[in-house]
């Protein structure tokens, strides 16, 4: 079970996400604006934050920048919830430090799949002790990268190709 924080100002979306995630066995924390979300994130250190982009006051991107700037919350993955996937949004979402995004309205299976994938990501600050014990277990750099690397989980944002091709076949 993981603890998730949902920051979403739309009560219907908030409830929907909460019900789905709770039924999947997660503990769910809620905030309806960025300021409350930041406070909860710092106090509770959730395993994952679902961040709506359009919020009253501070928007979700600014909130994510704050989260990633604070060492206390920087390691928490952020899944952006965006209502429209306009050109440029993806870049902005990525630039703000979000680890992925989901376009609303989302479907339950997709929401659960994305959450599960993001929870399985290795967290740079988790597990390893703070001391120097890790140094002993250090292994030499492997000559070849893992073939699985980059498959979905670690690069949730697909690269945006240049040009307007792709139409047709």
**Interface residues toward Mn ion, by CB under 5 A:** 9, 52, 54
Lookup: tokens for 114: 């994305």
Instruction: State whether residue 65 is helix, strand or coil.
Output: helix
Smallest gap from Cβ 55 to Mn ion, in A, equals 5
Tell me whether residue 9 or residue 89 sits nearer to Mn ion (CB atom).
9
Nearer to Mn ion, 12 or 136 (CB): 12
Shortest distance in whole angstroms from residue 51 CB to Mn ion: 10
Please say which residue, 54 or 154, places its beta carbon nearer to Mn ion.
54
Under DSSP, the state recorded for 76 is S
Task: Kindly tell me which of 52 and 90 has the beta carbon lying closer to Mn ion.
Answer: 52
Find the shortest distance in angstroms from Cβ 31 to Mn ion.
12
Nearer to Mn ion, 9 or 35 (CB): 9
Query: In angstroms, rounded to a whole number, what is the distance separating the alpha carbons of residues 112 and 96?
Result: 23
Nearest approach, Cβ of residue 34 and Mn ion (Å): 10
Q: Rounded CA gap, 132 and 86, in Å? A: 46
Burial 34-56 (b: 16+ CB within 10 A, else e): bbbbbebbeeeebbbbbbbbebe
Q: Which residue is nearest to Mn ion (CB)?
A: 54
- What is the smallest separation between the CB atom of 54 and Mn ion, expressed in angstroms? 4
**Tally of helices (H runs) and strands (E runs) in the chain:** 6, 5
């Amino acid at each position: 079970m993981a603890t998730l924080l949902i920051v979403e100002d739309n009560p219907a979306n908030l409830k929907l996400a909460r019900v789905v995630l709770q039924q999947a066995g997660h503990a769910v924390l809620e905030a309806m604006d960025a300021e409350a979300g930041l406070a909860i994130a710092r106090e509770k250190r959730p395993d994952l934050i679902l961040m709506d982009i359009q919020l009253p006051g501070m928007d979700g991107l600014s909130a994510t920048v704050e989260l990633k700037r604070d060492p206390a919350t920087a390691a928490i993955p952020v899944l952006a919830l965006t209502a429209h996937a306009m050109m440029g949004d993806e870049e902005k979402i990525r630039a703000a430090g979000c680890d992925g995004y989901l376009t609303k309205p989302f479907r339950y299976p997709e929401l659960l799949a994305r959450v599960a994938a993001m929870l399985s990501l290795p967290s740079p600050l988790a597990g390893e002790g703070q001391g120097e014990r890790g140094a002993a277990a250090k292994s030499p750099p492997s000559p070849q990268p893992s073939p699985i690397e980059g498959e979905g989980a670690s690069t949730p944002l697909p690269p945006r190709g240049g040009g307007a091709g792709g139409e047709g076949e």
